[in-house]
Amino acid sequence: MDVLIRARYSILYVVSWEEDRVERSLREIARKRDKQMFTWTITRGMIQEGEQKNDPSTSDPLRALDFAMEHKDPALFVLRDFDPFLDDPTVERKLRDVSRSFRASYKTLIIVSPVMCIPPHLEKDITVIDYPLPSQEELGTLLQGIVDQVSANPNIRIELDEEGRELLVKAALGLTASEAEDAYAKAVVLNGALDADDVEVVLAEKEQIIRKSGILEFHPADERFSSIGGLDCLKDWLSKRGKAFSESARQFGLPQPRGVLLLGVQGCGKSLSAKAVAGLWHLPLLRLDVGSVFSGVVGSSEQNMRRAMRLSESISPCILWLDELEKGFSGTQSSSFSDAGTTSRVFGSFVTWLQEKTEPVFVIATANDITTLPPELMRKGRFDEIFFIDLPSAPEREEIFRIHLAKRKRDPDGFDLAALAEASVGFSGSEIEQAVISALYDAFDAGREVTQADLLAAIQDTVPLSETRREDIEALREWANDRARPASVHAVEELRTGRRIEF
Ligand SMILES: Nc1ncnc2c1ncn2[C@@H]1O[C@H](COP(=O)(O)OP(=O)(O)OP(=O)(O)O)[C@@H](O)[C@H]1O
Ligand SMILES: [Mg+2]
Res 498 pLDDT > 60:
no
Domain ranges in the chain are 2-130, 136-213, 219-389
Strands (E), 255-347: 259-264, 285-288, 318-322
Question: For residue 495, what pLDDT is reported?
Answer: 60
Under the banding of pLDDT at 50, 70 and 90, the label for residue 500 is very low
Q: Ligand 1 centre from 315 Cα, in Å?
A: 27
Which residues, listed in sequence order, are joined to residue 39 by a DSSP beta bridge? Answer: 47, 78
Question: For residue 331, what pLDDT is reported?
Answer: 55
Find all residues with CB under 8 Å of 469, minimum gap 6, and list them.
none
- What average pLDDT does the segment 7-32 reach? 91
> How far is CA 359 from each of CA 63, 137, 277, rounded to the nearest angstrom?
47, 17, 18
Please choose from 325, 430, 436 the residue to mutate so as to test ligand 1's pocket, defined by most ligand atoms within 8 A of CB: 430
- What average pLDDT does the segment 44-49 reach? 93
Question: For residue 373, what pLDDT is reported?
Answer: 80
- What average pLDDT does the segment 26-48 reach? 94
Q: Ligand 2 centre from 272 Cα, in Å?
A: 7
Give SS3 for 127: strand
Other CB atoms within a 10 A radius of the CB of residue 468 amount to: 11
CA distance 139 to 79: 26
Res 242 pLDDT > 90:
no
CA distance 64 to 478: 61
Q: Ligand 2 centre from 322 Cα, in Å?
A: 10
Res 483 pLDDT > 70:
yes
Q: Which ligand is nearest to the Cα of residue 401, counting in written order? A: 1
Q: Ligand 2 centre from 285 Cα, in Å?
A: 15
How far is the first Cα of the chain from the last one, in angstroms, to the nearest whole number? 77
> How far is CA 321 from each of CA 219, 242, 289, rounded to the nearest angstrom?
9, 16, 9
Question: For residue 296, what pLDDT is reported?
Answer: 56
Q: List pLDDT tens digits, range 285-314.
A: 999 988 777 765 444 677 778 778 888 888
Under the banding of pLDDT at 50, 70 and 90, the label for residue 17 is confident
Return the DSSP state at 161: -
Q: Domain 2-130 maps to which CATH number in 1.10.3720.10, 2.40.70.10, 3.40.50.300, 3.40.50.1100?
A: 3.40.50.300
Tell me the average pLDDT of the chain. 87
Nearest atom in ligand 1 to 231's CA: 1
Helices of type H across 88-135: 89-103
Q: Ligand 2 centre from 264 Cα, in Å?
A: 10
Return the DSSP state at 469: T
Under the banding of pLDDT at 50, 70 and 90, the label for residue 502 is very low
- What average pLDDT does the segment 406-414 reach? 96
Kindly state the helix (H) or strand (E) to which residue 365 belongs, with its residue range. strand 361-367
Does the C-beta of 397 come closer than 6 Å to ligand 1?
A: no
**Poorest-confidence range of 85-94, 197-206, 278-287, 374-383?**
374-383
Question: For residue 499, what pLDDT is reported?
Answer: 44
Q: Ligand 2 centre from 141 Cα, in Å?
A: 43
Q: Ligand 1 centre from 273 Cα, in Å?
A: 8
Second-level CATH architecture of 219-389: 3-Layer(aba) Sandwich (3.40)
Q: Which residues are in the CB-under-5-Å shell of ion ligand 2?
A: 270-271
Q: Name the residue with the closest Cα to ligand 1, atom 12.
A: 430
Q: List pLDDT tens digits, range 345-357.
A: 788 888 888 888 8
Q: Which ligand is nearest to the Cα of residue 272, counting in written order? A: 1
| Secondary structure (DSSP) of 61-80 | HHHHHHHHHH--S-EEEEEE
Does the C-beta of 176 come closer than 6 Å to ligand 1?
A: no
Question: For residue 262, what pLDDT is reported?
Answer: 95
CA distance 231 to 390: 9
Helices of type H across 330-451: 335-338, 342-356, 394-407, 417-423, 429-445
Q: Which ligand is nearest to the Cα of residue 367, counting in written order? A: 1
Express as a percent the part of the chain with pLDDT over 70: 94
Kindly state the helix (H) or strand (E) to which residue 110 belongs, with its residue range. strand 107-113
- What average pLDDT does the segment 42-70 reach? 92
Q: What is the pTM of this model?
A: 0.74
- What average pLDDT does the segment 139-166 reach? 88
Same-fold call for 2-130 versus 219-389: yes
Q: List pLDDT tens digits, range 112-150.
A: 988 777 888 888 889 888 787 888 889 999 999 999 988
Q: List pLDDT tens digits, range 92-111.
A: 999 999 999 999 899 999 99
Question: Cα angle at 103 between 100 and 109, to 5 degrees?
Answer: 85
Under the banding of pLDDT at 50, 70 and 90, the label for residue 57 is very high
Express as a percent the part of the chain with pLDDT over 90: 47
Q: Ligand 2 centre from 265 Cα, in Å?
A: 10
- What average pLDDT does the segment 236-253 reach? 84
Which CATH fold would you assign to the domain 136-213?
Answer: Helicase, Ruva Protein; domain 3 (1.10.8)
Q: Name the residue with the closest Cα to ligand 1, atom 24.
A: 266
CA distance 17 to 178: 9
Buried b (16+ CB within 10 A) or exposed e, 76-85: bbbbbebbeb
Does the C-beta of 429 come closer than 6 Å to ligand 1?
A: yes
CA distance 238 to 424: 28
Does the C-beta of 271 come closer than 6 Å to ligand 1?
A: yes
Question: For residue 339, what pLDDT is reported?
Answer: 59
Please choose from 222, 231, 271, 389 the residue to mutate so as to test ligand 1's pocket, defined by most ligand atoms within 8 A of CB: 271
Find all residues with CB under 8 Å of 321, minimum gap 6, and list them.
219, 274, 278, 285, 286, 287, 288, 363, 364, 365, 366
Q: List pLDDT tens digits, range 177-211.
A: 988 999 999 999 888 888 888 888 888 888 888 88
Which residues, listed in sequence order, are joined to residue 486 by a DSSP beta bridge? Answer: 388
What is the dihedral sign for C-alpha 439, 442, 447, 448?
A: negative
Res 261 pLDDT > 90:
yes
| Residue type present at position 82 | F
Res 372 pLDDT > 70:
yes
CA distance 163 to 500: 67
Pick 201 or 419 by higher pLDDT: 419
